[in-house]
Structures are given as structure tokens and as C-alpha cells.
Chain A
Amino acid sequence: MSAQKAPHPFSKRKSRQAAFESFTTLFFRLATYAVIIAAGYIFFNIAYNGSKAVFMTKAPFINIAFLTQKPQTLHVYEPKEIYDELASIKAEILSSKAKKAALGSGAKTEAAAYSSQIETLEERYETLDEERKEGRLMYSDSEYRALPEPPSEELYAYNNYAYSGGGIGPAIIGTCLLVAGSIAIALTLGVLCAVYLSEYSRPGRVLQLIRLSILNLSGVPSIVFGLFGFGMFVLFFGWGVSMIAGWFTLAIMALPVIITASEESMRAIPKGFREGSLALGASKWTTIRTNVLPYALPGILTSSIMGIARVAGETAPIMFTAAFALRDQLPWEGLTKPTDFFFQGVMALPYHIYVVSAKIPQNEYTRNMQYGAAFVFLFIVGFFALSSIILRVKIRKKYKW
């Protein structure tokens, strides 16, 4: 029954406003999807490529060596026949491509012939490459040295690649130490500072100015913090390239975020709690300790840990202050006195990723290391973020208003 319904006062009408409304909605939706797709692609890419390095198809499914060993030189032996054939095919492809490019625009049929030739060559190359991957022998440095004798030079072509074997164990440990230490320092300093700013200082121009400069500090490029840390902690304090210098540099870099967020969380606590507490004869500090900080803690923790996690991914601030590209000993090895622990450089994931992807020649093996390290790093950051969220939910449950 398609008989027209009688129009009623609320029946839908086409109007410019309605059209505009749906257009804006679509616009917002598209923007959101674009962001989600971009983020999803990045995460998928890292997870997909990284999982090749971190997981295995055989039990125990996790590549323990990758997570625990030091970075090592990778020694690769490829079957000589295949190796040589691959090289010649590659040369042929190149020459065909060059010839094709040299043809004039009139020679359509010849160009097509070259194209199909290149195609078949490339197919051949790929199948051979698969064979090469199956037939090759790979040894990390330690394994290599343990070999009774290296594979014969006649059957195999030999290459070695720096940083492409072993694992990222020391970098994982170093990053965890750096993050934990800088969280401790940044939280202490940041919360003390935020308490003073939000609870004790007199509101006014000066306070506004201080707030503004703290806020602006978070816009300073990380390399500047790195140089500051280098000048201050490494050189002036004479700490050298050390974990403690890295802690302070990272902490200072995270401070603006932490102070701002902590202050916000504290100012969001209703005035009634403070007044109620003071009216019962509590001192100011008691009031803050019992009736402001606990309620502000969820906000402080979440934002702080997020802030640190972000800062922990920066390469620039630790490049000059704390990170070693390669260190043979683990942080607790070879200490002559306990304080040495703080005054040693460590390996760190972000710096390791940087070194592996920018400082050494690229090849298929470094790629594996890069993605593996990035994946593990994402995992660590995710772990910190998750724990902060759990902590927040727990505390929030305890103090809810």
C-alpha cells in the first residue's frame, strides 16, 4: 500500500538544514575512519613484520634467543650455485630494463617483448630466491665461533651482516630500567611541583606565567632535551653517558606533561572535600595528603605513565646521555661497586631501532631486527599503559564520588 500517508507535524521533511546535518556527520565519520585506518595500518605493519622475529612456528613459539641474546653479527652462507645464478638474473633484468628504457616511443612491439622477458626473469628470480632462503645457513656470532669448521667456500657464498643476528635482550632490559627510573623521578618531582602550584601558590599573573612556560616546555623538540641533558648531567655533573643521566633527561622531558596533568586532576577535586577536611581541624598538608592526592591519583598516574611511555620512545634524549649502541655486559654484570650500576650506559630499544635502521647498511636481515625491536617496544609501552589503566580503575573504585 503505497498510498500517501497524511502528513503530520513531525513528519520528516527534506530541507537544506537536514542535508547539511547529514553532510557534517559524514564528514566527522570520515575523519575518524581515516585516523583509525592509518593507526591500524601502522600497528598491523609492525605487528605483522615484528611477529616474524619474535614468534616461531615451532615450540616454544616465542623466539627466546631474540628476546634474551645480545645483538650479534650474522654470518650467512648461501648455496653458491643459486647465489651466482641470482646475481646473473639480476644483471639480466637490469640490462633488459635499460634497453627497454632506451627504446624510442614508436617501438611498441619491442617494448612489449622486453616487458614479458623481464616478467619471466623476475618470476624465476623469485622462485630461486625462495630456494636460496631454504638452502642458506645462518649463524650468529656465538654459534659461528662454536662451529668446528665453517661451511666449505666452494659450496657456499659467505656474507656477514652487523647487528643482524642474536637478539635485543640488553636493549629490552635497558629500556625497562630507563622507564622505571624516569617514572620514579618524574612522578616525585612532578607531583611535588603540581601540589605546590595547585594548592599552595597564590593565583595571579606570576602563576599564569609559570603555568604557560611549563606548558610550552612540552613543545620543545626532544633533541634539545637531549643536548640539555648532555650538557648538564653528562658533562657538568660529570656523570658520563650513564643510566642516571638518562633518567633525569627523560624525567625532565616528561615533567611538563606530568605537572600539567597532575595539576588538572587536583584542581578537579571538589572544593567541598578540602573545606570539609580543614573544618575538622586538619592541617593543609594533611588535607592534601588524605583528601586531595588520593582522589587525584588515578588521573595523575594515567597521564604520567602515558607521558613517560611517550617520552621513553624518544631516541634523541638518550642518544647523548644514556644509550650505548652495543654493550657486552648486562647492567648488573661486572660492577665493582654498587653505585656503578647508575653510572653505566645501557642499550635501549629506541636507540637500537635507530642504529639498526639508520647507522648500518640495510639488508633483509636488519629489517627483521628493526620490526622485531619495534614490536617488542610497542609491547612494553602497551604493558605500561595497561598497568596504569588497571591501577587507575582499582583506585577509582576505591574513591568514587
Chain B
Amino acid sequence: MAQTSTPITTSENSQPPIIEIRNFDFAYGDSQALFDINMDIKEKEVTAFIGPSGCGKSTFLRCFNRMNDLIDIARIKGGEIKISGVNIYDKDIDVIELRKHVGMVFQKSNPFPKSIYDNIAYGLRIQGVKKKSTLDDVVEECLRGAALWDEVKDRLNESALGMSGGQQQRLCIARALAVRPKILLMDEPCSALDPIATAKVEELIHELKKDYTIVIVTHNMQQAARVSDRTAFFYLGKLIEFENTDDIFMNPKNPQTEAYISGRFG
């Protein structure tokens, strides 16, 4: 897989990609999880990752903010990921700065067992922001941004764990927004939510698209179709197809994609 295959990109939109992935190989110990992935992700678009379970979507997503560093056996076998033109696996990369730049929302919502206010303020407090007025402003702005303000404005000091599942997930999104990332990674953010909560989060993604680049992993075809501009289909650790969402759902080029989308496997 040495040849530099041309990245699979979509034609229009001429601005440079915010995330460039080139010949990316990734392994857990001896078992390779991602094979030679090439991909360009454009700024302020929603990119959806779909594919059967275990195909490496989460693994790939967690490479963008180097969350895989936490796993001892995880290894980059080759290739690179550039964000805004910088290789994020370079030696002189400060992972903390990278993670401020690339926010993440996890599949299982994980609000801290603190108050709603403290959850949102956390990202700023650890950066040393102490001023109450600044924190107040950011908390309100982020909660509004996550369409949660009206529901929780009267109980900011109550534990975040007293919220409903959908509210908790939106809180996690708000929490990620507070550090003002450029890119927001979401790993199956709606997998534990009911249709109404899901609709709210999807609406939110639509809103956030104006300011953020969003990469979302989902198992829900309709959701991918509804929220994303582009969709990438993965299979067994390989990127099979990456197209405009409309194209990939209307007329997939690859027969495997077609089979997966139409529900014949996966």
C-alpha cells in the first residue's frame, strides 16, 4: 500500500480541507484496525462515518484528537493526519492544545458528577479562567448553543446526573463547545436517546454546522442522511466510499456500500 493513492474527495468546494488523512494505518497490538485511509474533511461541514460494527469508525475518530494515546497497545503504523495543515502526530504537538482544538462527544454521555454549571465551566476552569462573569457568560452561551438553556436555566447548580439522558448528551455537547473547538467529533451521540431527544440533537448539529466542523459516527442511516453533507462508508478497517451524502444514499458507486445502505448486511 505504498502508492500515494489520490485522496477520495468530492469535487466542488474549493477551500482547503481542515482535516487531511493520508495513507493512515493503525493497529491495536498485532491486529491492524485501519488500512491505508485517505480522506479530506472540509471545514464547516458535517461528515458522517457509517459502517458495520467493529469496522473501525470509533478508532478512526479517536485518532483525530489522539484519544487513542490512552490505549497502551495502540500504534500508528504509517501515514499521517493533518489538521489545518499540521501533522498532529508530530513530536512537538501539545496534545492538550490539540484536544482544545478538537472537541469530542462520546457515545455514552459522560457528564461529570458535578453541577450543570461546573460541567460547562470545567473546560475553562482547567485553563485557569476564574472570573465569575466570564464563566457565567460562557455557560449561558454554551447552554443556549446546545439548545438546553431554557430547560435548565433554573437549576444550574443541581447535579448534572439528575438530567434526562437526552439532556445529558446535549450537556456534553455544550461542555465541549465551552472550550471553543474548531472541530467537534461525535461518536454515536444519539445511540442512547429516544426519537425526540435524537431530533433535538440533530437539530443542534444543524445549528452548530455554521460555526464548527463536525464529524459524526452513526449507525442510523436516516440520521446520516438527515444531518451530514458527506458520508464515509467503512468496512473492515478500510474506507470504501466517501461521497456527498445525497450521492452515497441515492446512487452508491460501490456494491458493498449499496448492500450496507439498503440493509442487506451489517
Q: What is the bound-complex CA distance between A119 and B178, given in angstroms?
A: 90
Q: Which of A368-401 contact B (CB under 8 A)?
A: 399-401
Contact B96 A281 (CB under 8 A): yes
Nearest CB of B to A194, in Å: 19
Which of the 9-residue segments A57-65, A99-107, A268-276 touches chain B?
Answer: A268-276
A40 contacts the other chain (CB 8 A): no
Q: What separation, in Å, do the CA atoms of A283 and B95 have in the docked complex?
A: 9
* B113 with A401: CB separation less than 8 A: yes
Per-residue interface assignment for chain A, residues 290 to 312, with 1 indicating a CB less than 8 Å from any chain B CB and 0 otherwise: 11000100000000000000000
In the complex, chain A residues whose CB is within 8 Å of the CB of B172: 276
Chain A positions 244-282 with a Cβ under 8 Å from a chain B Cβ: 270, 272-282
Contact A280 B122 (CB under 8 A): yes
For B1, the chain A residues whose CB sits under 8 A away are none
User: Contacts A203-B72, A272-B110, A399-B113 given: A278-B99 contact, CB under 8 Å?
Assistant: yes
Size bracket, chain B contacts: 20 to 34
Query: Which residues of B sit under 8 angstroms from A286, Cβ to Cβ?
Result: 126
Say whether B123 contacts A281, CB under 8 Å.
yes
Q: Given A202-B72, A401-B113, are A280 and B123 neighbors across the interface (CB < 8 Å)?
A: yes
Tell me if A's interface is mostly helix, strand, loop or mixed.
helix
How long is the Cα–Cα vector from A202 to B70 in the complex, in angstroms? 11
B63 at the binding interface (Cβ < 8 Å): no
The answer to whether the Cβ of B127 comes within 8 Å of any Cβ in the partner chain is yes
> Does A295 contact B113, Cβ atoms closer than 8 Å?
yes
Of all chain B residues, which has the CB nearest A269? B113
Q: Total interface residues on A, using CB and 8 Å?
A: 22
Which of A270, A280, A295 meets B176, CB within 8 Å?
A280
CA A385 to CA B153, docked complex, whole Å = 40
Decide yes or no: A275 and B112 within 8 Å by CB, A203-B72, A280-B176, A290-B126 being known contacts: no
CA distance A276 to B112 in the complex (A): 8
- Cross-chain contact A280 with B159 (CB below 8 angstroms): no
Which residues of chain A are near B161, meaning CB under 8 Å? 400-401
Chain B's closest residue to A286 (CB) is B126
Mark interface residues in B150-187 (1 if CB within 8 Å of A CB, else 0).
00000000010100000000001001101100000000
Asked whether A281 lies within 8 Å of B100 as measured between CB atoms, the reply is yes
| B114 in complex: contacting residue of A203, A283, A399, CB < 8 Å | A399
Is A281 a contact partner of B106 (Cβ separation < 8 A)? Answer: no
Cβ contact of B179, chosen from A270, A281, A400, cutoff 8 A: A281
Given the complex of chains A and B, what is the CA–CA distance between A282 and B124 in angstroms? 10
CB pair A281 B97 closer than 8 Å: yes
Question: Is B51 interfacial (CB 8 A cutoff)?
Answer: no
In angstroms, Cα B112 to Cα A272, docked, is 9
Is B104 in the interface zone, CB < 8 Å from A?
yes
- Bound CA–CA A280/B112 (angstroms): 12
Contact A275/B70 with A281-B96, A281-B179 known, Cβ cut-off 8 Å: yes
B127 and chain A: residue at smallest CB distance = A281
Q: How far is the CA of A272 from the CA of B127 in the complex (A)?
A: 20
Q: Chain B residues with Cβ under 8 A from A202's Cβ? A: 72
CA distance A280 to B127 in the complex (A): 10
Q: A273-B113, A276-B112, A281-B127 are in contact. List 14 more A-B contacts (CB 8 A).
A: A203-B72, A270-B110, A272-B106, A272-B108, A275-B106, A277-B112, A277-B122, A279-B103, A279-B106, A280-B123, A281-B96, A283-B126, A290-B122, A400-B159
Contact residues of B with A, CB < 8 Å?
65, 67, 70, 72, 96-97, 99-100, 103-104, 106, 108, 110-114, 122-123, 126-127, 159, 161, 172, 175-176, 178-179
Would you mind naming 23 contact pairs between A and B with Cβ atoms under 8 Å apart? A273-B110, A276-B111, A276-B112, A276-B172, A278-B70, A279-B67, A279-B99, A279-B106, A279-B176, A280-B176, A280-B179, A281-B96, A281-B99, A281-B100, A281-B126, A281-B127, A281-B179, A283-B96, A291-B112, A399-B114, A400-B113, A400-B161, A401-B161
A-B residue pairs, 3 tightest by C-beta = A272-B110, A281-B100, A279-B104
